[in-house]
Structure 1
Amino acid sequence: MNYIKELNAFRNFLLTNQLSVGAISLWHTLMSLANATGWKKRFNAPSQTLCQLSGLSRQGVLDARNSLVAHGLIRCESGQNGRAPVFEMISLVKEPEDGQTRNTRQATVDTSLDRLPDRPLDRSLDTSQDRLPDRPLDRSLDTSQDRLPDQPLDTLLDQSPDNILTIPKQKQYEKEEDEAHAELIAIYEQNIGSLPPLLCKELLTWEKRLGKEIVIEAIRIAMKHSGRTFRYLETILTEWEQAGIKTVAAVFSYEKQKSEKGTSFQKQQRKTVTIFDALRKEAAGR
């Protein structure tokens, strides 16, 4: 097949035939894979690869494939023994008959004689010999054959799902970060209550400032003291931030010291009350 001619023929096909956007996308995807294989007549193409390259869902690929088969643009057979489906592209390019080609060339020669009578026929018609190398047209257009290894398509395309396409590191990082945010919001709502969208942003801001583990510890302490508002949680986080707390271990140490100070203050209060009670009793006895 000639890639450029097939693209032009498919464009002309769409002028008189109606195809869905998914079917058009799948045709271009299959044609590019056929080109990658060196124009093998039949080739395997895993569904996951087609989904990734065409941007369609599995059901979308199936619907588009059925549409292309119905319009006579491709042939498809289900894969056997766990292998991917087998596809065959049906050419849309109609090559002229040999007689028509000769007649067209003869007409070109005859016309050129009328326009250029003073120049030799061979030099006026065949000027490409000085500039272009003597190579087949398909090789000049399909340069991908010079780059691809000579190996079966199955080893090139029919790979395990983990190796077909690798997610870029940046997208993988963003995905993991979104999952971590969702987990923190879920912990808050399971233990304290519903969190409006604006407060979700505030909670994630605290996560960036102090860290996820510290925010979770603040949620635990708020729940322990029956704090059921975001304001209560924010008060705890503000206090820790002002105290310069950076780790969960520092949280435990800080809360332990605060608890000991509170216990000492309560003992002092009870001692003071006891002295006043004794004085009141002594005055009453008099």
Structure 2
Amino acid sequence: MNYEQQLNAFYDQLETEPLSTAGIAVWHALMQVYKKAGWKNPFTVAVSVVTLKAGITERHFFLVRKELVEKGYLTYESRKGRQAAIYCLTPLTEPHSHKTAVNRTYNADNTTVNSTSNSTDNRSLLVKELNKDFNKNINKDNNPFRFYEENGFGMLSPFISESINAWIIDHTFIEPEAVIIEAMKISLMQNVRTWSYVMKILQDWSSKGIQTLADVHAEQERRKQKVAAYHMKKKGEQAHENAKRTSTPDYSSYDFGF
């Protein structure tokens, strides 16, 4: 499978089959596992691994997985006992592949059941349940993807979306969404609207061990104090220099009587 083509097709499909932010994160996490497995479809992965990569709770994961199945992004087969489920990601680059992929899914007894993706009532209930659970962790004001587009950085390309998602799921920050948005705010205050500039800010914070929004604010306060101290020092040096010049005798207009 061509990773770049699959990624581009994924974001194209989001235009017609939108996912929650958690859904996007879980899809990317499964894609990473799929890639590591050598593009072998189907593949197995433990729930704990996916939740760690996606940065969500186990309870939330099962809701998101259901969303991904109903919208045609994957199928899966649960297995008895503590065995990891078997996943099959839909090859989105193939025409109409998402329509055939949702025709089957599995219950805990490995019995094939019909998909309910065409049921408006079921989908509505699912969306409500997803939104209720997801909004506990993130809302529209804490969504870096939305913030990027709504504040003049430009349209989200697959590359930028992947990069933002990578910062969210790699556990560099404890509060990744809030920290990424704060970096974008600082970029805006500097009148720079590029993702590369935001990345430099994030990399700087990462190197300093900053993990939360409180850490960011503390670092900003330290920088302000450092800058203020620098200006005070320069002001003191300038005042001292001015005082030296004033105290030096000026004989240029003195009449010595010669």
TM-score by length of 2: 0.39
TM-score by length of 1: 0.36
Structure having the higher helix fraction is 1
* Structure showing greater Rg: 1
